[in-house]
Amino acid sequence: MRILSVVEESVVDGPGIRTVIFTAGCPHRCKGCHNPSSWNPAGGEEVEVEELVQRIKVSGWDGVTVSGGEPFLQSSALAELVMACKSLGKNVWVYTGYTLEQLEAMHDEAVQTVLDYADVLVDGRFEQSLRDMGLRFRGSSNQRIIFLNKV
């Protein structure tokens, strides 16, 4: 998996303390993006999913967030990562610039696996005109926090 960085203990990418994996490459190129260096799909470095899982194990906190970049650019690796995290009993959040509807319309098996296994999807592009600092775990008000596993 091509990743930009791993933050071991984040408090701003979902509830609790979470290990955050920032994937490299993003097609959305939202105006006002906090991190344009994540756009390049050849940026960052190639890391085995297995190694990421190992780091998540070591960190020991309950939550994992996959952010980016656009995580769904690498949907097979993402699916593998999400499933591995779920088998460790982690609570998994995935950020994406796509909307849930767009993802579902892709009819891609790996994408569907992510949606089946991840706990929460934070979806939608960052819209600078809708930017709101008071929002919990989101940058702009069009973005949604969607609980995928209702149970």
# binding residues, other proteins (CB under 8 A): 27
149 binds other proteins (CB under 8 A): no
Residue appearing with tokens 């906090």: 34
Rama region for 22: left / alpha / beta (φ>0; ψ in -120 to 50; rest): beta
42, 136, 150, 151: which one binds other proteins (CB under 8 A): 136
The residue length of the chain stands at 151
Among 82, 61, 58, 60, CA closest to 1: 82
As beta bridge partners, residue 116 has none
DSSP-derived secondary structure letter, 144: E
43, 61, 100, 148: which one binds other proteins (CB under 8 A): 61
3, 21, 22, 81: which one binds other proteins (CB under 8 A): 22
Nearest approach, Cβ of residue 104 and other proteins (Å)? 24
Angstrom distances, CA of residue 107 to CA of 11, 41, 55? 33, 23, 31
Q: Residue 146: in which H helix or E strand, if any?
A: strand 144-147
Select the span of 57-65, 75-83, 97-105, 106-114 touching other proteins (CB under 8 A): 57-65
Taking residues 84 to 123 in sequence order and writing x for each that binds other proteins by CB under 8 A, - otherwise, the string is -----------x----------------------------
**Which residues make up the interface to other proteins (CB under 8 A)?**
5, 7-13, 15-17, 20, 22, 34-35, 38, 59-62, 67, 95, 133-134, 136-137, 139
